[in-house]
C-alpha cells in the first residue's frame, strides 16, 4: 500500500526548513528541465504559491533567487552542450540555431531579472570559437560534413552578442553555413 505525503496548504504552519526543502526540490526540477527552463521556473512558482495542490508558500524575492539561478544554470548547460563539437553526432545535439535561440532567451531572462550573465557569455564565446575551429578543420579534412544549421547572418548575430569578433573565427567558416 502506498502512502501519500500530505503537505499542508497553510503558509502559517510551514517551517523555514520545510520551505527551503520545497524550494530546493523545485530548483532540482528546473535544473533538469527541458529546452526552455524558464517555463519550468514559472510552473515551479505557480506550484509553490498558487496551485491548490501545492504548499501555498508566501514567497519573498530572496526565496525565488535559487529558482532563477537554476534557470541560468540550465540555460548554460544546454547552450554549452550545443557548442561542444563532441556532441555533434549525439542525439542530445540541437545545433547552433537552437544554441542561438537559447542564448537570446537567457539574455532576456537575465536582463529582466537583473542577473549578471558575463561569466556564461565568456564561456559561450570561448566555446563558439573552439566549435568553429573544430568544425572547419573536420570539414576541410573530409572527416565529416558540416552540421551548421543556421545561416551566416545568424552566426554573426550570435558571435556579436557573445562578444566574439568575426575575425577570431577560422577562415572559411562562412562556407559551412547553409544559404537562407
Contacts of 41 (CB under 8 A, 6+ apart): 30, 67, 68, 70, 71
* Cell numbers found for residue 135: 568544425
pLDDT in tens, 91-102: 999 999 999 999
pLDDT in tens, 37-76: 999 999 999 999 999 999 999 999 999 999 999 999 999 9
Q: Can you tell me the mean pLDDT for 144-164?
A: 96
Whether 9 has a pLDDT exceeding 50, the answer reads: no
Whether 136 has a pLDDT exceeding 70, the answer reads: yes
* Interatomic CA distance for residues 173 and 133, integer angstroms: 9
Residue 179 has a pLDDT of 80
* Interatomic CA distance for residues 156 and 177, integer angstroms: 11
Q: Can you tell me the mean pLDDT for 107-121?
A: 97
* Mean of per-residue pLDDT scores for the chain: 91
Amino acid at each position: 500500500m502506498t502512502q501519500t505525503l500530505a503537505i499542508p496548504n497553510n503558509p502559517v504552519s510551514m517551517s523555514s526548513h520545510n520551505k527551503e526543502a520545497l524550494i530546493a526540490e523545485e530548483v532540482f526540477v528546473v535544473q533538469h528541465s527541458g529546452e526552455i527552463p524558464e517555463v519550468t521556473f514559472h510552473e515551479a512558482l505557480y506550484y509553490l504559491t498558487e496551485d491548490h495542490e501545492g504548499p501555498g508558500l508566501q514567497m519573498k524575492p530572496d526565496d525565488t533567487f535559487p529558482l532563477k539561478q537554476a534557470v541560468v544554470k540550465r540555460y548554460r548547460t544546454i547552450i554549452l552542450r550545443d557548442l561542444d563539437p563532441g556532441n555533434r553526432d549525439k542525439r542530445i545535439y540541437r545545433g547552433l540555431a537552437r544554441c542561438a535561440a537559447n542564448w537570446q532567451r537567457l539574455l532576456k531572462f537575465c536582463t529582466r531579472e537583473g542577473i549578471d550573465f558575463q561569466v556564461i557569455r565568456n564561456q559561450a564565446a570561448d566555446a563558439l570559437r573552439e566549435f568553429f575551429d573544430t568544425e572547419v578543420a573536420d570539414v576541410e579534412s573530409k572527416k565529416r560534413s558540416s552540421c551548421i544549421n543556421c545561416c551566416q547572418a545568424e552566426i554573426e548575430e550570435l558571435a556579436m552578442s557573445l562578444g566574439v569578433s568575426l575575425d577570431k573565427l577560422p577562415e572559411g567558416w562562412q562556407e559551412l553555413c547553409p544559404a537562407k
